[in-house]
Amino acid sequence: MFKELNPLLHSELRLAVMSILIGVEEADFVYLREQTHATAGNLSVQIDKLQKAGYISVEKGFKGRMPRTVCRITDCGRDAFTEYVDALSGYIGR
């Protein structure tokens, strides 16, 4: 019996954002955009969805005079990611 894949993580861009944040302490919006090659608008929408689900925390601030949005994965997000990877391994027969 296959476990159901978390629909929130089972989308290319949201999964890419979570995969980046799982390996780092924090990353800003510009870094996430560089790494995912997403448009600012699309990335912003997906970050908002992950934040609303409690998977990431978002801190808006300034670096000098430039606005900066810093994202961090939460414990809830870490658990969801681990569950998602466990469920995936069932699908690919590990």
Partner 1 sequence: MEQNQLTARQSIDLIARTINNTRRHIEQGVYKHFLIWGYLTTVISLTIWALARSTGNMAVMWLWFALPVTGGGLVLLTCRTPRDHGYVRTDIDRAISHVWLVLSMACLVASVSSYFIGLPILFIVILLMFSGTAITGLIIRSRILSTAGFTGLALSVQLFFVHGIDQCLVFAAIFLLAMVVPGHMLRHRANKNR
Q: Is 53 in the site for partner 1 (CB under 8 A)?
A: no
Q: How far is CA 88 from CA 13, 20, 32, 57, 84, in A?
A: 17, 18, 24, 25, 6
- 55 forms part of the interface with partner 1 (CB under 8 A): no
Check residue 2 and report its DSSP letter: P
Other CB atoms within 10 A of residue 84 CB: 18
Q: Does 20 bind partner 1 (CB under 8 A)?
A: yes
28 binds partner 1 (CB under 8 A): yes
Residue ranges that bind partner 1, judged by CB under 8 A: 5, 10-16, 19-20, 22-38, 42, 46, 63-64, 66, 68, 70, 84-85, 88, 91-92
